[in-house]
């Protein structure tokens, strides 16, 4: 292995470990309530605005009248990669019912790296929106304690369902269908 290649591999390993430690620290802090965040209340889902990997602004507040599904994933996570095809198919399946599906990535990767990973490696369509949750701001607002946590927000802006569904795609599909009124 060349010296340049070895350096590249080492940087990649260190970056992955740093991301894993960062995510673990945020999750631990959220679990014990150290990181400030707003609890989900009956007043509706906490608002957030992110920029997608395609350069578009996505604001939850601007989605009133639509059902919004968002999943906190991490690029490079194997179980997260299993969720992407289901989310992508859900985005296509429920598009006519005015459902938006977005991945909020916690890996800290750049927009181009996330686009390459999700659109390239995982072959997600443009129907599935992808954005970085920079600084874990959205995860903090929603008090996310596990990668893979998903939220379904109804047309009225209220959280209709949240939880983990890996390996139980019918749980997610049922939650989306109920929120979409299908």
Domain boundaries, the chain: 3-180
Position 17 scores a pLDDT of: 44
Helices and strands, counts by H and E, the chain: 5, 7
Question: Helix, strand, coil % (nearest 5) of the chain?
Answer: 45, 20, 35
Neighbouring residues of 4: CB distance < 8 A, sequence distance ≥ 6: none
Gap between the Cα atoms of 136 and 132, Å rounded? 9
Q: Which long-range contacts (CB under 8 A, 24 or more apart) does 174-178 make?
A: 176/67, 176/69, 176/90, 176/94, 176/99, 176/152, 177/94
Position 31 scores a pLDDT of: 39
Position 6 scores a pLDDT of: 53
Position 34 scores a pLDDT of: 31
Question: Mind listing the pLDDT tens digit of every residue in the chain (182 residues)?
Answer: 666 555 554 445 434 444 444 444 444 434 333 332 233 444 589 999 999 999 999 999 999 999 999 999 999 999 999 999 999 999 999 999 999 999 999 999 999 999 999 999 999 999 999 999 999 999 999 999 999 999 999 999 999 999 999 999 999 999 999 999 96
* 8 Å CB contact between 163 and 145: no
CATH of domain 3-180: 3.40.30.10
Gap between the Cα atoms of 162 and 39, Å rounded? 13
């Amino acid at each position: 292995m060349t010296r340049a290649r070895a350096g590249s591999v080492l940087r990649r390993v260190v970056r992955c470990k740093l991301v894993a430690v960062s995510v673990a620290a945020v999750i631990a802090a959220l679990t014990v309530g150290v990181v400030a965040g707003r609890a989900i209340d009956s007043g509706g889902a906490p608002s957030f605005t992110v920029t997608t990997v395609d350069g578009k602004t996505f604001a939850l507040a601007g989605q009133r009248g639509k059902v919004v599904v968002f999943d906190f994933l991490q690029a490079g996570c194997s179980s997260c990669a299993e969720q992407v095809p289901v989310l992508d198919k859900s985005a296509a399946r429920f598009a006519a019912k005015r459902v938006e599906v977005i991945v909020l990535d916690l890996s800290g990767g750049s927009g181009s790296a996330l686009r390459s990973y999700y659109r390239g490696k995982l072959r997600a369509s443009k129907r599935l929106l992808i954005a970085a949750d920079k600084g874990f701001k959205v995860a903090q607002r929603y008090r996310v304690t596990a990668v893979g946590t998903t939220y379904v927000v109804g047309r009225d802006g209220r959280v209709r369902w949240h939880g983990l569904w890996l390996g139980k795609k019918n749980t997610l599909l049922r939650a989306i269908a109920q929120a979409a009124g299908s």
